Structure 1
Amino acid sequence: MDQDIIGLIPAGGKATRISPLPCSKELFPLGLYPTSDGGLRPKAVATYLLEDMRAGGADKAFIVIRQGKWDIPAYYGDGAMLNMHIGYLLMNVPYGPPYTLDQAYPFVQNNIVVMGFPDILITPRDAFKDIVSELKSTSADVVLGLFPTEFPHKWDPVDLATDGRIVKVEIKPTQTSLKYVWAIAAWSPAFTQFMHEYLEHRRPEFETGNAREIIFSDIMQAAIDNGLHVRGVLFEDGSCLDVGTPNDLQKALQTLYSV
């Protein structure tokens, strides 16, 4: 049976790096899009990610929000504006983005998942198509989209072996010789199950206050350590820009609105 490709977007953050904002950071206007009557309208930043997921084969997506971010479902509705079916889930516990994503477990556990962050802009715009193709052709458990950056210490760079496997993920290192960072992912039901069970196993540590907030790269490294097949697709001429930081937001605005 063919598996659906489902987009999964964590949107439970508080945008502390660029606050205060008059709206959820996922809806920050960045660029313009043409309307059917020939006009132009502001384009919400998360729309880029949804469009990229759609180009990668996902016609369904779940956006996981927290209490108070009701402007996101109010804006995107059922997804018709993007020719997608969009559903919304509420995050349950504030233990980190992986727990936010795990809210979708009952809805995505038997399908291919593509995941990205709504405040990160990537090129090429068809990158999801390539990582899904790699996932299917290699029977990998996870495939990460890798991009060059001048500032790997701001990201989570990866050690990519010559055979395409990822052997290590470094989490915002103060110094590193690694040049490529991951910004998007595609994974199989096997990884969805691994993440769900791993998070359930770790939950008591958080409930007793004995653990720091967990991030997605922690899950990636745990998957590697437990023998899952994690691969990378390198977009040597691509780019990734985190508009959730003031400097990169300014850079994106200058690029998109330059004449």
Structure 2
Amino acid sequence: MWGIVPAAGRGSRIQPLAFSKELLPVGSRPHETGERPCAVSEYLVERMILGGADKICFVISPGKSDIMEYYGAAYGPADIAYMVQPRPVGLCDAVFRPAPLIAPDETVVVGLPDTVWFPADALASLPDDRLSFLLFPVERPELFDAVELDGSERVTAIRVKQPEVRSRWIWGAFKMPGHVFHALAALWRRPERRDEYIGTLVNAWLAEGGSAVGVKAGSSYVDVGTVHGYRAAIGLLGEGVAPHHTTLPSGVAGVPHSREVRLP
């Protein structure tokens, strides 16, 4: 399974930083030499691995080589690849950059690297055979992409940062078979489309007869891309239930040390 991590954005909401926002320290975890800071994007990578991903692709901008230096060739049991998005022209462009790497019979999961959410194993609740969205309840859905469902949990529309929405459930990650990934990419590449946001592209997919489901398996979600969100993430991690430790194996594709994952 591929995990796609779109990490090419400027991070203008939380600047100035001297490094990529995906490496912003949020919380800490045990390490063989004691305790070490945890980059915010590690929470997503670990959740992807818990959900079955064994290959991770970071999509970065030309100026974000620090992400490559931080993660190297692997993270625990997952190999890591990198694709470059030359210009920050939207989430869809970033998500579909790894298309040449993904076979139609593989599974793809996509998440946002500046978010922290629980439960950590929620991706396992998404089906492998269709486009599905992992949903989280939030107090202000108008700030996110609110997902509307019918009585059978099928997605009827995604409202992208609209002031008036009927659903308080937003998507935090999504999953699909490789052939659906490529079909969405083909739709996006049409001259009349080139959507910036996943939500508007999925609305077009639905209008042409495609389908998607929403899974309300998320409990907490924080966008760490603002100072307020950063503080909220620290609070969320501090309020977690008693953690247990999961160790990702070391020595995989150049990883010199084990990385112990602390998950609630």
Per the TM superposition, whether the score is higher than 0.5 is yes
* CA–CA distance in structure 1, aligned partners of residues 88 and 25 of structure 2: 27
Instruction: Please name the residue that 1:245 is paired with.
Output: 226
Q: Deviations over 1:222-254 (max 9, x none)?
A: 211111120011026x11110002211111124
User: In terms of mean alpha carbon deviation, does 24-33 or 186-195 score higher?
Assistant: 186-195
Q: How does 1:29-108 map to 2 (within 5 A)?
A: 29-37=25-33, 39-80=34-75, 82-108=76-102
* CA–CA distance in structure 2, aligned partners of residues 104 and 159 of structure 1: 28
User: In terms of mean alpha carbon deviation, does 184-193 or 43-52 score higher?
Assistant: 184-193
User: Structure 2 vs 1, CA of residues 205 and 180 (structure 1 numbering), >3 Å: closer, same or farther?
Assistant: closer
Give the 3-state SS of the residue equivalent to 1:147 in structure 2.
strand
Specify every segment of 5 or more residues in structure 1 that has no aligned partner in the other structure, as ranges: 207-212
Instruction: Please name the residue that 1:233 is paired with.
Output: 215
Deviation of 1:27 (Å) = 0.4
State whether residues 57 and 82 of structure 2, in contact with CA within 8 Å, keep that contact through their aligned partners in structure 1.
Answer: yes
Q: How does 1:102-251 map to 2 (within 5 A)?
A: 102-110=96-104, 111-131=106-126, 134-135=127-128, 139-140=129-130, 142-202=131-191, 214-235=196-217, 238-251=219-232
What residue identity is the alignment partner of 1:252? A
State whether residues 169 and 220 of structure 1, in contact with CA within 8 Å, keep that contact through their aligned partners in structure 2.
Answer: yes
User: In terms of mean alpha carbon deviation, does 120-129 or 245-254 score higher?
Assistant: 245-254
After the TM superposition, which segments of 4 or more aligned residues of structure 1 sit over 2 Å from their partners?
92-95, 253-259
User: In terms of mean alpha carbon deviation, does 160-169 or 39-48 score higher?
Assistant: 160-169
Q: Deviations over 1:136-160 (max 9, x none)?
A: xxx42x1000110000111111111
Specify every segment of 5 or more residues in structure 2 that has no aligned partner in the other structure, as ranges: 241-264
Instruction: Please name the residue that 2:18 is paired with.
Output: 22
TM value normalised by structure 1: 0.87
More strand by share: 2
What residue identity is the alignment partner of 2:145? D
User: Structure 2 vs 1, CA of residues 205 and 54 (structure 1 numbering), >3 Å: closer, same or farther?
Assistant: closer
Q: Deviations over 1:195-228 (max 9, x none)?
A: 22122213x777xxxxxx6111122212111111
Give the 3-state SS of the residue equivalent to 2:160 in structure 1.
coil
Deviation of 1:258 (Å) = 7.5
Deviation of 1:192 (Å) = 1.4
User: Structure 2 vs 1, CA of residues 240 and 251 (structure 1 numbering), >3 Å: closer, same or farther?
Assistant: same
* Aligned length, in residue pairs: 239
Using the aligned pairs only, state the percent identity: 31
* C-alpha RMSD over aligned residues: 1.9
Give the 3-state SS of the residue equivalent to 2:6 in structure 1.
strand
* CA–CA distance in structure 2, aligned partners of residues 156 and 222 of structure 1: 15
More helix by share: 1
* CA–CA distance in structure 2, aligned partners of residues 183 and 63 of structure 1: 17
* CA–CA distance in structure 2, aligned partners of residues 61 and 159 of structure 1: 29
